[in-house]
């Protein structure tokens, strides 16, 4: 699982997340917040009952502290628990594991909607036909765009929670999230490169399934090309990072650093020589 939470500046809440995850019995790969995004990404694995319990405990802590009316950050978001992907371990393609993942999605969706009055939208392989299936479409307009709208969630009320927004939960394929940070406080180059990548993915080999956004990182006096590789089996990492480096330098901007957000599969490392990672971020294949 890789839940994304709309906080990145609350040190007490970050500490509580660490305590909860450490004592939960799950395997923790990642728990890191970012000041500029004002977002925390978590990634952990375990038995379905463990995953359900720890996610609900994290939600209880986060929902008591987050008010999206006062939330400021560069990352798009529609909820306090903005998106909660359920992902199988690499190499596990059994019908049984997919059924268990879908059951976990349904249980979490029902509980979050019922216990916190948060509308829940199912996405990707869990989507049921009531609304768009993809994350960018479901996030369009952000939290502010939900105000006053009648919604068609899969679980919960038909209006957004006034403090917590909505949550997007679903079973999806593995993706790689990474950033290229640029040595410029002007986000113009980052936004232009992200826009070009979105155009290239339509018909350019090597860019299939690559999502990209450009951001200002005010606290670092840098800018960022934020990337999601949604088809990592068809889109190696190094060529994407090299393309961003090359075209940023053509525009007169140097790369400050590459960052891996969340986890990476062991099988991806061969083509990720430009992407720093910590050993605990590597998820081993199940054969």
Total residues found in the chain within this entry? 287
Write out pLDDT tens, residues 240-267. 999 999 999 999 999 999 999 999 999 9
Does 287 have pLDDT greater than 90? no
Instruction: Examine the fold and report which residue of 171, 206, 236 is the final residue of a domain before the chain moves on.
Output: 171
Contact residues for 192 (Cβ-Cβ < 8 A; gap 6+): 214, 251
Q: Which helix (H) or strand (E) holds 180?
A: strand 176-182
Query: What gap in Å lies between CA 19 and CA 73, rounded to an integer?
Result: 25
Question: What order do you get walking across the sheet with 176-182 strand by strand?
Answer: 210-217, 222-229, 176-182, 255-261
Cβ 114 vs Cβ 59: under 8 Å: no
Identify the pLDDT of residue 147: 85
**What's the half-sphere exposure (Cβ side, CA atoms, 13 Å) at 213?**
11
166 and 183 fall within a common domain: no
Write out pLDDT tens, residues 15-35. 999 999 999 999 999 999 999
Identify the pLDDT of residue 148: 87
| Per-residue tokens: 119 | 């509308």
164 and 181 fall within a common domain: no
162 and 227 fall within a common domain: no
181 and 163 fall within a common domain: no
263 and 201 fall within a common domain: yes
127 and 196 fall within a common domain: no
137 and 192 fall within a common domain: no
DSSP result, 133-170: -SHHHHHTTTTGGGTTPPP--SBS-SS-BTTTB-EEEE
247 part of the active site = no
Average pLDDT, the chain: 97
Query: What gap in Å lies between CA 246 and CA 220, rounded to an integer?
Result: 22
92 and 207 fall within a common domain: no
Query: What gap in Å lies between CA 107 and CA 18, rounded to an integer?
Result: 24
Confidence at 270, pLDDT banded by 50, 70, 90: very high
95 and 124 fall within a common domain: yes
94 and 180 fall within a common domain: no
Does 108 have pLDDT greater than 80? yes
Confidence at 167, pLDDT banded by 50, 70, 90: very high
119 and 239 fall within a common domain: no
Domain assignment of residue 239, given as a range:
176-283
Averaged pLDDT for residues 116-125: 98
Write out pLDDT tens, residues 218-235. 999 999 999 999 999 999
Identify the pLDDT of residue 286: 79
Cβ 52 vs Cβ 107: under 8 Å: yes
Beta bridge partners of 27: 45
Count of C-beta atoms within a 10 Å radius of residue 10: 17
Confidence at 239, pLDDT banded by 50, 70, 90: very high
Confidence at 285, pLDDT banded by 50, 70, 90: confident
Handedness of CA 199, 202, 205, 211 (dihedral sign): positive
Cβ 168 vs Cβ 78: under 8 Å: yes
Percent of the chain residues past pLDDT 90, beyond the cut: 97
Q: What proportions of the chain, in percent to the nearest 5, are helix, strand and coil?
A: 35, 25, 40
Cβ 238 vs Cβ 271: under 8 Å: yes
Query: What gap in Å lies between CA 34 and CA 73, rounded to an integer?
Result: 9
89 and 163 fall within a common domain: yes
Residue of 37, 75, 125, 247 marked catalytic: 75
Write out pLDDT tens, residues 56-95. 999 999 999 999 999 999 999 999 999 999 999 999 999 9
Percent of the chain residues past pLDDT 70, beyond the cut: 100
Residue 87 belongs to domain with CATH number: 3.30.990.10
């Amino acid at each position: 699982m890789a839940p994304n939470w709309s906080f990145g500046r609350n040190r007490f809440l970050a500490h509580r997340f660490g305590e909860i995850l450490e004592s939960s019995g799950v395997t923790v790969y990642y728990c890191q917040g970012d000041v500029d995004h004002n977002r925390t990404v978590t990634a952990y694995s375990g038995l379905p009952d463990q995953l359900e319990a720890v996610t609900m405990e994290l939600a209880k802590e986060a929902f008591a502290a987050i008010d999206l009316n006062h939330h400021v950050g560069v990352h798009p978001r529609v909820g306090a628990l903005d998106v909660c992907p359920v992902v199988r371990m690499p190499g596990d393609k059994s019908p049984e594991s997919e059924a268990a993942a879908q059951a976990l999605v349904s249980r979490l969706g029902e509980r979050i909607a019922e216990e916190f009055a948060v509308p829940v939208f199912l996405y990707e392989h869990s989507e049921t036909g009531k609304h768009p299936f993809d994350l960018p479409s479901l996030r369009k307009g952000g939290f502010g765009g939900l105000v006053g709208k009648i919604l068609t969630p899969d679980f919960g009320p038909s209006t957004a929670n006034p403090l917590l927004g909505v949550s997007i939960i679903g079973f999806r394929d593995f993706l790689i999230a990474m950033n290229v940070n640029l040595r410029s406080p002007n986000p113009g180059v980052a936004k232009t490169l992200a826009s070009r990548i979105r155009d290239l993915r339509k018909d350019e080999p090597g860019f299939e399934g690559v999502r990209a956004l450009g951001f200002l990182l005010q606290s670092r006096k840098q800018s960022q090309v934020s990337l999601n590789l949604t088809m990592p089996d068809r889109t190696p990492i190094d060529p994407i990072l090299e393309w961003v480096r090359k075209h940023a330098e053509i525009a007169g901007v140097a790369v400050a650093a590459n960052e891996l957000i969340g986890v990476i599969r062991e099988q991806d490392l061969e083509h990720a020589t430009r992407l720093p990672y910590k050993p605990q971020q590597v998820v081993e294949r199940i054969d």
